[in-house]
A and B are shown apart, each in its own frame.
Chain A
């Protein structure tokens, strides 16, 4: 469970707060996928950055499984919450496999062989095993997106935050990607920040709607969508 309590964030030099007194409770009873919807500039990426521990909110707190993230050690926090950035940020000098084994080896202290076999299995499970020895520059947008998710998933985080995962995909690949993504959430719960409504509807049951830095709605995806199209 991720719980956000009266969170506010204002960027330095800005008069208007990007997030204003936000409170939400993400309940992932069945390892579900929750979408965070909103127009550009609504504050949804700021919310993700706060949840990912990259921005430090001026007010309020974030609880992960009832623990304030401010009080968590970085290592403990990172082992629970994974992030996939909009720009993916794959390591261009490493192959897909090495991108995955680096943290297994350095953070989870697995041996190189263990890390490699674990990554192999993950790639196979995600049906992208053939990409194993390629460099990020050789991947298509959809492949790179999947590899970035695989890199995060192999560390087995409890929660995975995705920022605009469909921004680099065309419509057909987005559909494939939705199908693929729905098959993943066995042990990990997803929070997906997106402005792509068809995609959100196809992958998630619940959604949060953000407008001008405030929560407009948190409900079933159908209800949120109705409200979104009305506004």
Chain B
């Protein structure tokens, strides 16, 4: 633990150092660059394939990136692409950190109140997709009454379908990957998503799905700019690249041909590295949580095994509460609840706290029952020899209780290791999250879930064997009564 703590501090220091350094560089660049007239700074997220994303070699690429290049060439500017989170992307434009956002932003009246948009550079919208075998039965949305239709949780399509088409059975999913699996297994009849994103993902995953009917509603993607003078130039440049056919060929490349997909497959080294790194984090978190948990479980077990007291009452209620509620809810409670009392914990710290507390609750019970199983005569014998209370605990009671507690403690360790799979929900980059991220590119969930199961099993199996053989030793030594 101590070692780990030091690493945390080390990482933190390194992080602050990097932050201050990059802040300095950024400030320097901003003051320097804002004087350069030829600079064309464009913002996008880099997290929205196929529009903007990092390829397997770590290079930024995508439809929006290519559009940015084509436009800056047309304008005769030097292009600089800045990646920034979607949440803060408009604020950055208003603050003058870049001249334009080429990030697939739909033109909406609300946004138009704040910034000026260029003419749309592409049009997309809500598209119905079906299995290719259903093309004769499902032709448009009206054929979907009573059928199951998937959408990704939180996307605007869900609300739209529920209000406009209440007769459709809408089912929400965590990601398109899961929708694809259920479509393939024919558990779903159809799904809705953005037309271009959907077409790209289907092509990438090699799925037998096709579009059905027209766009349900469409969205025009424009380029917000900070400087109205630039707007005219940009609109001219847009119509120029359109008339030159650049726009069409980019559209074809990214959304219709197979070329864009081949650059998308993931390098095996990258996959192995990410999975191993993720599993390292999993094991690390489980390890820290286990030892923190047992550190507190010993005194808790002693109190629980002791005489009636206020401490015992409070502890008993608390432990019962923790054992009686799902660890997932506890995780949300710590992760989302702590900031409300002014404590903003990182996902990893939240995960470690939750799992430590949770495993402490279970292991306290194990320690308590271990202590309870030691014959009270042992304590008397210790006293009769003149040992003090602490020595009786340390040399007589605890060694016996611990031997009894080892098998159930081993089970707790196994359970804890498996529980770490849950923490992917608060975006800790452990092995399940890493796998989900890989699957979102490679679209073969079964393979990766089998690999993960195997990784877990490699760790839990020896633990379980050890537990079992320890029980045998206990019986041999006469600690355990059959």
Contacts and interface: CB of A to CB of B under 8 A. Distances in A.
Interface of A: 52, 54, 74-75, 78-79, 82-83, 85, 87, 89-93, 102-103, 106-107, 135-138, 151-152, 155
B387 interface: yes
B387 A103 contact: yes
B477 A135 contact: yes
Interface string B356-390: 00000000000000000001011011011111100
Interface stretch (B9-17, B226-234, B289-297, B392-400): B392-400
B80 interface: no
Contacts of A52: 384
A90 B386 contact: no
Contacts of B384: 52, 78, 82-83, 85, 152
8 contacts: A79-B386, A82-B384, A89-B378, A90-B381, A91-B395, A92-B479, A106-B391, A152-B384
A87 B378 CA distance: 10
B403 interface: yes
B478 interface: yes
List the 4 shortest-distance A-B pairs measured between CB atoms, nearest first: A137-B478, A78-B386, A89-B381, A103-B385
Contacts of A79: 386
Contact of B399 (A90, A93, A103): A93
A92 B400 contact: yes
B377 A92 contact: no
B54 to A, nearest CB: 58
A83 B377 CA distance: 12
A155 B386 CA distance: 10
Interface in B398-414: 399-400, 403
Contact of B396 (A87, A91, A135): A91
A102 B385 CA distance: 9
Contact of A155 (B375, B381, B385, B400): B385
B384 to A, nearest CB: 4
Given A92-B479, A107-B387, A135-B478, 13 more contacts: A54-B383, A78-B383, A78-B386, A82-B384, A83-B384, A87-B375, A91-B378, A106-B388, A106-B395, A107-B385, A137-B478, A152-B385, A155-B385
B387 A54 contact: no
Contacts of A90: 381
A40 B302 CA distance: 35
Contact of A93 (B375, B386, B403): B403
B482 to A, nearest CB: 13
A91 B478 contact: no
Interface residues of B, number: 20
A68 B240 CA distance: 110
A102 B395 contact: yes
A75, A78, A103, A138 interface centre (most CB from chain B within 10 Å): A103
A91 B383 contact: no
A40 B384 CA distance: 23
Contact of B377 (A82, A89, A106): A89
Interface in B465-482: 477-479
Contacts of B385: 78, 82, 102-103, 107, 151-152, 155
Given A74-B386, A102-B385, A103-B385, A93 B380 contact: no
A85 B381 contact: yes
A53 to B, nearest CB: 8
B382 to A, nearest CB: 8
Interface centre among B383, B384, B395, B403 (most CB of A within 10 A): B384
Nearest to B396: A91
Contacts of B386: 74-75, 78-79, 103, 107, 155
Nearest to A161: B384
Contacts of A137: 477-478
B62 to A, nearest CB: 65
A74 B382 CA distance: 12
Nearest to B479: A92
A155 B384 CA distance: 11
Interface in B103-152: none
A102 B479 CA distance: 19
Contacts of A75: 386
A77 B411 CA distance: 44
B380 A85 contact: yes
A89 B383 contact: no
Contacts of B387: 102-103, 106-107
Contacts of B388: 106
A136 B375 CA distance: 14
A136 B477 CA distance: 9
A92 B373 CA distance: 13
B347 to A, nearest CB: 42
Nearest to A151: B385
Quick one: which of B381, B387, B391 has the most chain A CB within 10 A? B381
A91 B381 contact: yes
